[in-house]
């Protein structure tokens, strides 16, 4: 197995995403390590970034039996807050966490490290932002009798979803009570494809959802990536899918 030191941009994205969740939830992002709660603030963000970067460097050093200096000025992370319109994309957060962990889990101390505690907390915040997460009932679906249609819907979801890219073509956008929903294509009058909302998302028509819950849906039509970001910031919700 190989590993490398991630770049500063990667560390900044993790810290900035954590900052965003703290602000959007009107709380403070925190993580528990060795029985003590640590909080991410403007005064601790640089320290948190250094902690993440040093853990990564320790992993690489252990794997290749190389010496590394925790005080190396080249890796002294100084956090710069994200721009005012920054809204993290959930799938990008999961990807950033996984990629960081893959490069950082090579040494024995990783399992009980502060960096892992930080990552676990960030993932947990992101999971709870997924559409429908809080609405799932404890009586889970029958895994022995999945219909062919449901299986096809789930397969289509896994094959087609992608991270949001502001440079891509405009997207069909609707805002519901769970976040900014990026709809990939128009299926006809008043019918929007919701396959990218996640497997099993119901109802399949966003307009139908709007009729049932008029206070939970606003349809913005086709808008640019920049406008999607603005809407997400305005309504204090994450971008889900594109």
In a domain, 241, yes or no: no
Q: For the stretch 84-106, what's the b/e string if a residue is b when 16 or more beta carbons lie within 10 angstroms of its beta carbon? A: eeebbbbbbbbebbeebbebbbb
Q: Please give the residue range of the domain that contains residue 210.
A: 156-235
Over residues 107-152, the pLDDT tens digits come to 999 999 999 999 999 999 998 887 667 666 666 667 787 778 777 7
> Residues 168, 162, 213, CA angle at the centre, nearest 5°?
95
Q: Which of 154, 168, 151, 145 is nearest to 226 (CA)?
A: 168
- Residue 174 above 80 pLDDT? no
Mean pLDDT of 89-109: 92
- Structural domain contains residue 90: yes
Look at residue 181 in the predicted model and tell me its pLDDT: 54
Give residue 173's pLDDT: 59
CA dihedral 89, 94, 97, 101 (to 10 degrees): -160
Taking the CB of residue 39, how many other CB atoms lie within 10 A of it? 13
- One domain for residues 97 and 177: no
- Round the average pLDDT of the chain to a whole number and report it: 74
Are 192 and 178 in contact by the 8 Å Cβ rule? The answer is no
Q: Which of 23-27, 174-178, 188-192 has the lowest mean pLDDT?
A: 188-192
Phi, psi of 37 (to 5 degrees): -85, 130
The verdict on 114 and 208 lying in the same domain is no
Does residue 70 belong to any structural domain of this protein? yes
Give the Å distances, CA to CA, from 8 to 52, 54, 76, 221, 230.
10, 11, 10, 37, 26
Is 100 in the same domain as 177?
Answer: no
143 falls within a domain: no
Contact 34, 139 (CB under 8 A): no
- Let me know whether 123 and 163 are in one domain: no
Number of domains in the chain: 2
Q: Is residue 163 part of a domain?
A: yes
pLDDT tens string 218-239: 555 555 556 666 666 676 655 5
Q: Tell me which residue has tokens 């449901």.
A: 150
| Listed residues 127, 142, 177: the one ending a domain | 127
More confident residue, 94 or 166: 94
216 pLDDT band (50/70/90 cuts)? Answer: low
Residues 116 and 168 occupy one common structural domain: no
Tell me whether residue 220 is in a domain: yes
Q: Is residue 189 located within the same domain as residue 122?
A: no
Q: Are residues 172 and 115 in the same domain?
A: no
* Residue 107 sits in the same domain as residue 182: no
Looking at 127, 142, 176, which one is the last position of a domain? 127
3-state SS, residue 149: helix
Do 25 and 123 lie in a common domain?
Answer: yes
């Amino acid at each position: 197995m190989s590993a490398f030191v991630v770049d500063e941009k990667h560390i900044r994205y993790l810290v900035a995403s954590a900052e965003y969740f703290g602000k959007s939830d009107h709380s403070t992002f925190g993580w528990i390590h060795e029985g003590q709660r640590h909080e991410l603030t403007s005064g601790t963000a640089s320290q948190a970034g250094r902690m993440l970067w040093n853990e990564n460097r320790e992993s690489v050093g252990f794997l290749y039996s190389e010496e590394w200096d925790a005080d190396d000025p080249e890796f002294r992370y100084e956090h710069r807050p994200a721009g005012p319109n920054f809204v993290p994309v959930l799938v990008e957060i999961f990807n950033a966490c996984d990629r960081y962990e893959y490069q950082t889990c090579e040494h024995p101390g990783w399992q009980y490290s502060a960096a892992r505690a930080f990552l676990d907390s960030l993932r947990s915040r992101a999971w709870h932002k997924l559409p429908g997460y809080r609405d799932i009932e404890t009586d889970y679906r029958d895994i022995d009798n999945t219909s062919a249609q449901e299986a096809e819907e789930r397969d289509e979801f896994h094959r087609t979803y992608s991270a949001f890219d502001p440079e891509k073509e405009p997207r069909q956008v609707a805002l519901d009570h769970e976040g900014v929903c990026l709809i990939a294509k128009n299926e006809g009058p008043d019918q929007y494809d919701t396959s990218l909302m996640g497997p099993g998302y119901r109802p399949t028509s966003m307009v139908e959802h709007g009729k049932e819950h008029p206070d939970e849906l606003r349809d913005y039509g086709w808008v640019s990536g920049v406008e999607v970001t603005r809407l997400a910031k305005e309504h204090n919700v994450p971008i889900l899918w594109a």
